[in-house]
Structure 1
């Protein structure tokens, strides 16, 4: 879960994923095409952190490496209902684990790389298309990640354009519910919605909802 830097509120991973999926749902192929079936891709983004529970209390930046790796490894395992959904989730988990340098992470990464060969085949997805889709997942995840920390920040993610080149997509989070994207990768107009946080005191034993609106707009 994410602990707000601005107020005594926490956001479960499930709600972080809700925002990531809202971005994926609104994605427009005009800037960077999603080379996967759209419904399955959006579902994969919505489930990208499925290794966590519904009201998890594994705080970002506070869990042990072993605990974190166990959560990620659990999410990587294919469920089998939709091979493309499983691939989207697995690619995301593999990317996260690749940023860790422990022996356990390196071993897990090698196992994941071997498993992904079969998962791509099951999904009927080429390696380059899986990688291109994962760059968009990365953007959705990073925006939702920084949003839930509720502090001003900015970042850039490289996504794959139509010509096979790379597009630098910048985002800026103001910490108060607003996100600017440049160049604009979504459909016409702004995108709005909510994520559900909870009062930090007593969570997760006591669930006091805190409705938090978000607005995505061109930068």
Structure 2
């Protein structure tokens, strides 16, 4: 039996996300500027939870952990531990070792796992299925964290794709506003993160 479990990852990460959701819900009676601030902080933490969920799931699968459904993953190389999985993903099948692994975009994830986990397996198929939403969240997170001209351009592209035209919403309003949809974007991202974590751990 594997000593690592995706059930543990799933339970722990959903608990963390539920706490973030409570922060958003409990801020609803505050003035807009405080709701904006809280939603941006929550978004930073939320994407971090999603990113670590993806990497932790990949490492555990590489060690032989079953999906929560009991199904075994398709492995190209069986690793002894999560540290070994990390090391093999950096070096296995590469002419030059990767400097680091990245988990914030579907193509980055594919590059990280491709010589250890079969990309035809359920894990990467679910990553690929949710790739547009993962990238949207990455763009939003990056603009909150860095606020550069390049992150702003990526953020405006997200706004155009979601709303059409040439909208220029400030980030806090983008996350909390119910003008266009009754479900604000910060709650949508919370719900989406739960779905992604469920899917990549379920098998």
What TM-score do you get using the length of structure 2 for normalisation?
A: 0.31
Q: More strand by proportion, 1 or 2?
A: 1
Larger Rg: 2
Structure with greater proportional helix content: 2
